[in-house]
Amino acid sequence: MKTTGPVLIHVVTEKGRGYPYAKKAADKYHSKVLLYWLKNVIRTLVTHMLVSGVTKFDPATGKQFKSSAPTQSYTSYFAETLIAEAEADKDVVAIHAAMGVGTGLNLFLRHFPTRCFDVGIAEQHAVTFAAGLACEGLKPFCAICLSFMQRAYDQVVHDVDLQKLPVSLAKSHEILITVEEGSIGGFGSHVAQFMALDGILDGNFKWRPLVLPDRYIDHGSPADQPVEAGHTPSHIGATVFNVLGKTREALEIMSEV
């Protein structure tokens, strides 16, 4: 086609295309379809290849193999806590960017269908939307997977931070535990910076950061590495109990590791 002007090509993607099980449940197969397609193109790939956010599954039947755990996932705890906050405060709302399952907000949606917003794959809009709601007096919790947060950096800075919009989570609790899969100087340090500037650390507020240890960690199974790094639910629970002065409970929960 010959043209003298600009040409706009609009490409519409379809989650799960070519794999019927994923088409029926696109939210549960968010990144599995690519793996299934690659396996058929490059025969050397194995079915249990690890991809971020993906559990093992049988390509022939679509059945997912979820490992059992003695405790709930971080996502489940987050969802239950946010639901409790929303039950106590009608102004609490939740926002996610096409990641209801990944963020746990699908559970929030069941309890509060009119207070949970899926903006689609638009993290930028999710942050700005949250900022707008905050300006009107609501208390939005915008849940975005970390690997996708880079899309919304500008919105976080210009629409939230520079506007000095209220962040009520740390201010309404006596204890804050930050957990990050990184070393000192990452997310937890930024949280501490904001709290220090706001004077939150001047009172009785207690903060404990959990970061990766400053040493090499050998490769291991996904279950072994959090234990080595001290990032298991038991480690986090023990940290909370220690802050509360409940040493015995901390020792008991660590005995489960």
pTM given for the model: 0.57
Three-state DSSP class for 154? helix
In a domain, 15, yes or no: no
Do 161 and 126 share a domain, yes or no? Answer: yes
Domain count, the chain: 3
Q: Which domain holds residue 217?
A: 169-257
| Rounded Cα gap, residues 180 and 177, in angstroms | 10
For the stretch 9-56, pLDDT in tens is 888 877 777 777 777 776 666 554 443 333 343 333 332 222 334 567
User: Is-catalytic flag, 2?
Assistant: no
User: Is-catalytic flag, 110?
Assistant: no
In a domain, 14, yes or no: no
For the stretch 87-119, pLDDT in tens is 999 999 999 988 888 888 999 999 999 999 999
**Nearest residue to 169 via CA among 197, 146, 132, 195:** 195
In a domain, 111, yes or no: yes
In percent, how much of the chain has pLDDT > 70? 78
Do 54 and 101 share a domain, yes or no? Answer: no
Do 160 and 176 share a domain, yes or no? Answer: no
How long, in residues, is the chain?
257
For the stretch 61-71, pLDDT in tens is 877 777 666 66
User: Is-catalytic flag, 15?
Assistant: yes
Instruction: Point out the catalytic residue in the list 28, 39, 56, 151.
Output: 151
Tokens 């971020």 sit on residue: 52
In a domain, 244, yes or no: yes
Instruction: Point out the catalytic residue in the list 32, 123, 139, 180.
Output: 123
Do 227 and 185 share a domain, yes or no? Answer: yes
**Nearest residue to 52 via CA among 155, 153, 177, 181:** 181
